[in-house]
Structure 1
Amino acid sequence: MLGSLFLKLILPSLIFTAFLFYLITIIKKNLANTSLLLYSVLSFTTLSIILVIIDIKDENRLISDIKEDKKQLGIFFHDKVPLIFGDAVYLLISSYDNNKYANIAEIEKFNHAIVAKKDNDNKNIILIMGEASLYSRYSAYGYHFDTTPHMTKLFSTSNSCIVNNAHSSSPITRDSLSMTLAFHTPENEDNLFNNKSIIEMAKANGYKTYWLGSQEIQGLHGSKYGFIAQKSNDLKLTDYNDNKLANLLVKVLSDNAQKRFIIIHLYGNHLPYNNYDEIDKKALPNAENYDLTIHHTDRIINDIFKVINEKKIDFNLIYTADHGEIVNVGHGLEKGREQYLILFMYKSTNNRFNCDFIESFRNKDGYLSGLMNKYILSELLGYEIDKNILRNEREYDRILTANENILPFSLME
């Protein structure tokens, strides 16, 4: 490893730097005023640093990536800073071990918003988390292509609802998902490590917990929510294959657990929009690839409901998404309202937790924020929430942007 780095990175940089210093020495001998040379070098260095700082601020989601993994700063310096200095910074920072997620021991402390346990009779709570799913491309929300024929029917029956005006808390999966499943807020992620996650709360109230995921739970993009996922009693991954999730659910619902909390994490509608097959193309021959992935996800959701219906279980089910999408552009951008506009669908066999229960979390501006997910799940799991804290969180409708800025959602363009 070190030998490869020396040949590919360090040796060429040393040769180039030595040549540059030789060139400067020759120039210096021919300059009457050496202070001019010093001034020029200092000016060049200062300008380079300023330009690097500007680049960091302007680069989409780079600040967030650096906060998540310091090695990203090393990579940026290596790419942007000339001569051996950039290479040295890269090697130094790359040697840093990002181990903040290493300790996955159970956390004992509940968040201060949780005041008590209360009786509930919700036996199976299922959260399906979609990926990069823009609500306006769902025919269930009025899109002109019939992208969601199954969901339109499934969530239009009694005790079901297709919720309008829902938005995510962040345009980046790792932040949005962690703010759904832990008491991490846009202002501070300390509660991710100091307070029980929703998964740990479920276990503390007698639920067996399951994570059925299509996406990775390690690395730059997955470690934050992976830290939470690894607290589950049962964790299964499909390597980006949503088609396997329904079969995994069959096994989950065949065990002898009395109460279950199940998270199903889809690959869904992520770039490059290739999560579809010939069935989807035949159904929507004139649709864009993104729409085909929505249609395919609709089939996945239908397969999940087939399993639920075959098992004849009581359940509370939420289907939402980590964030939206600027179609054919992506997400994780500093601007773009469509990155935050998501679906929210709900179905329950428990009349105590009907659609009015979900609507109670809507704020004064008429939006249901992704920051409310943790509180919705807490109540479904049998916890009482401090009403003042809930009201303050509900009405302070803010988002965490791609570059770690906190912004009222109403100001997102």
Structure 2
Amino acid sequence: MTKFFNTIIKSPFINIFVVTTLVMFIANIYKIYFFEGTDRIALMHMARSLTTIFLLNLVITHVLYLLSRGLFKGLYLIYALIIFILCFINFFTLTSLKTDINIAIIDSVLHTNPDEAGEFFQTFFEAKYLVVAILLCIIFYAMTRYKRSSTKEFSRKTIIVLSVIYIAFAAVFFTKSAMRISSNKADRAISKLSEHILINYAFVLKKYLLDDNFLASNKQILKDYDVSKAANQNIKAEQKVANVVFVIGESLQRNEMSVYGFGLPTTPNLMALKQSGNAIIYTDTTAPDTYTNGSLSKVLNFSNYESKEPWSKSLNIVDMFSLVGYKTAWISNQSNIGGYSTTQKSVADRSDITFFTQKFASATNYAGRETDGILLPEISKIKQSLGESNFYIIHLMGNHFKYDLRYPKDFAKFTANDLQNKMNPGQKESFAWYLNSVLYNDYVINEIYKIFKDDEA
């Protein structure tokens, strides 16, 4: 320990350690701000984050020192350079792709040819990325060149105190992480460890290289779909409607819809469509499951509880329409990646046209931060490019939590004062947000109806 601590307090090692810790801390706080806003950036959270990054950076520095000794300076510079590059990549993916690094991005990079890379660069390049890159280069240069005039080595007593503190903190941290992993709380442990950006990338790369990630699962599902489609080549449509539009919502409760009797006017457009005879309101439908993926695995496929075959081995709804001569389109404001998106992604990939508002964003971060109205121009655009017989699946973010992100400010009609329920003020506020999201959902559905109302649909 004595040689290690007395080495890292010297230049450029202390410079590298302090600067890489601060750069990773700033990158982590920016990521939290980007996805969560200012709500989660409390002083206590920032202190915990800085402590975690400091400890992990110190442990990795120690490991590099033990492994290299004579080559420590060169290896530590390479380590610092990697940290800077990864922080820049994260800044780019957050601001341009609206997501942290994930296996979908890695897969796209590994399967991109030079022409596609050039097009990608032209599409996403902005001056701010050049400015950030230059700033990081200046910081890196200054970090490696700055030297303190003299550095006094730690006394034996100081080394003992530092060693005890270091070992105690490391032991507690890694013991808690191991306990979380062994008690089915691995996600929390991984999330904490991933505050160090190099560890975060290591976890993502490990996930990508495993055979059981969602990309591998999706490839197998698509193979199953090919078999199912080949087995149903002879199906025919006795009648054809020019445009079939299937809208999938999210977390919409009929009990909060005025068209089903709720006391506040949350669905005025559906009420008007019902009264004009342009909407049939069903009252006896039941979801096939209690969560989205479970329900969609049966709604989007000819699968049911009685079937012993996996849902992926049944004919899906997009292939069915394709077999009878329809052009198909999947238009979504939901996530395109992650285990929770497996069902919808696999069916979406069967469509002739797919559009996701954020191609790389996962359900756990930026996906759905745009309100559903962003889909309306795209629906109109795709409608102009399809054929005589078309099938559209429109997947909304709908009323998914966080409710206050699901509608523009213009739709903030309901407040806690409108509610007579026996709730505390916080619950009333959250419920009012939900009702506003229902009101906006009603507007979006009506706008989709307007796009097709003059057509055979």
- Band of TM-score, shorter chain: 0.5 to 0.7
Match of 1:261 in 2: 391
CA distance in 1, matches of 2:447, 2:242: 21
Find 1:232's aligned residue among 351, 358, 382: 351
CA distance in 1, matches of 2:333, 2:386: 25
Structure 2 CA distance for partners of 1:8 and 1:77, relative to 1, 3 Å:
closer
User: What are the within-5 Å matches in structure 2 for residues 188-267 of structure 1?
Assistant: 190-239=309-358, 240=368, 241-267=371-397
Match of 2:412 in 1: 281
Structure 2 CA distance for partners of 1:101 and 1:144, relative to 1, 3 Å:
same
Match of 1:102 in 2: 219
Query: How far off is 1:113 after superposition?
Result: 10
Q: 1:8 is matched by which residue type in structure 2?
A: L
CA contact (8 A) 1:74 1:93 kept: no
**Structure 2 residue 56 is the aligned partner of structure 1 residue 8:** yes
User: What are the within-5 Å matches in structure 2 for residues 344-359 of structure 1?
Assistant: none
Residues 204-263 of structure 1: CA deviation (Å, up to 9, x unaligned): 110100111110121132123111111110111224231122212212322351111101
Q: 2:441 is matched by which residue type in structure 1?
A: T
How much identity, in percent, do the aligned residues show? 22
* Structure 1, unaligned runs of 5 or more: 24-47, 57-72, 81-86, 316-413
Structure 2 CA distance for partners of 1:134 and 1:115, relative to 1, 3 Å:
farther
CA distance in 2, matches of 1:168, 1:196: 19
Find 2:450's aligned residue among 279, 291, 306: 306
Match of 1:402 in 2: none
**Structure 2 residue 154 is the aligned partner of structure 1 residue 154:** no
Match of 1:75 in 2: 187
CA distance in 1, matches of 2:230, 2:309: 11
**Structure 2 residue 259 is the aligned partner of structure 1 residue 128:** no
Q: 2:388 is matched by which residue type in structure 1?
A: Q
Q: Which has the larger radius of gyration?
A: 2
Query: How far off is 1:179 after superposition?
Result: 1.6
Residues 38-82 of structure 1: CA deviation (Å, up to 9, x unaligned): xxxxxxxxxx99x999x65xxxxxxxxxxxxxxxx85378799xx
**Structure 2 residue 415 is the aligned partner of structure 1 residue 271:** no
Residues 6-34 of structure 1: CA deviation (Å, up to 9, x unaligned): x739959x999xx89xx9xxxxxxxxxxx
CA contact (8 A) 1:111 1:183 kept: no
Q: What secondary structure is seen at the aligned counterpart in 1 of 2:219? A: coil
CA contact (8 A) 1:174 1:222 kept: yes
Q: What secondary structure is seen at the aligned counterpart in 1 of 2:354? A: strand
Q: 2:382 is matched by which residue type in structure 1?
A: V
CA contact (8 A) 1:107 1:195 kept: no
Match of 1:182 in 2: 301
Query: How far off is 1:108 after superposition?
Result: 3.4
Q: What secondary structure is seen at the aligned counterpart in 2 of 1:102? A: helix
Q: Which shifted more, 178-187 or 111-120?
A: 111-120
Structure 2 CA distance for partners of 1:286 and 1:278, relative to 1, 3 Å:
farther
Q: 1:313 is matched by which residue type in structure 2?
A: D
CA distance in 2, matches of 1:220, 1:114: 30
* Structure 2, unaligned runs of 5 or more: 1-23, 25-52, 64-162, 172-177, 193-198, 359-367, 420-431
Structure with more relative contact order (C-alpha pairs < 8 Å, separation 6 or more)? 1
CA contact (8 A) 2:235 2:323 kept: no
Q: 2:294 is matched by which residue type in structure 1?
A: D
CA distance in 2, matches of 1:206, 1:179: 23
CA contact (8 A) 2:332 2:394 kept: yes
CA contact (8 A) 2:250 2:398 kept: yes
Structure 2 CA distance for partners of 1:233 and 1:256, relative to 1, 3 Å:
closer
TM-score under structure 1 normalisation? 0.53
More helix by share: 2
Q: 1:96 is matched by which residue type in structure 2?
A: L
Query: How far off is 1:127 after superposition?
Result: 0.7
CA distance in 1, matches of 2:307, 2:382: 34
CA distance in 1, matches of 2:402, 2:295: 21
User: What are the within-5 Å matches in structure 2 for residues 360-379 of structure 1?
Assistant: none
Match of 2:259 in 1: 140
CA contact (8 A) 1:215 1:265 kept: yes
CA distance in 1, matches of 2:242, 2:276: 21
CA contact (8 A) 1:208 1:259 kept: yes
CA distance in 1, matches of 2:58, 2:345: 35
CA contact (8 A) 2:240 2:389 kept: no
CA distance in 2, matches of 1:93, 1:187: 37
Match of 1:292 in 2: 436
CA contact (8 A) 1:183 1:191 kept: no
Query: How far off is 1:111 after superposition?
Result: 11
CA distance in 1, matches of 2:394, 2:336: 13
Q: 2:407 is matched by which residue type in structure 1?
A: Y
CA contact (8 A) 2:327 2:386 kept: no
CA distance in 2, matches of 1:100, 1:283: 43
Aligned residues, how many? 262
Structure 2 CA distance for partners of 1:147 and 1:238, relative to 1, 3 Å:
same
Structure 2 CA distance for partners of 1:100 and 1:282, relative to 1, 3 Å:
closer
Q: What secondary structure is seen at the aligned counterpart in 2 of 1:167? A: coil
The CA RMSD over aligned residues, in Å, is 4.3
Query: How far off is 1:141 after superposition?
Result: 0.3
Query: How far off is 1:184 after superposition?
Result: 4.2
Query: How far off is 1:282 after superposition?
Result: 3.7
Query: How far off is 1:136 after superposition?
Result: 0.6
Structure 2 CA distance for partners of 1:146 and 1:187, relative to 1, 3 Å:
same
Query: How far off is 1:308 after superposition?
Result: 1.4
Query: How far off is 1:302 after superposition?
Result: 1.4
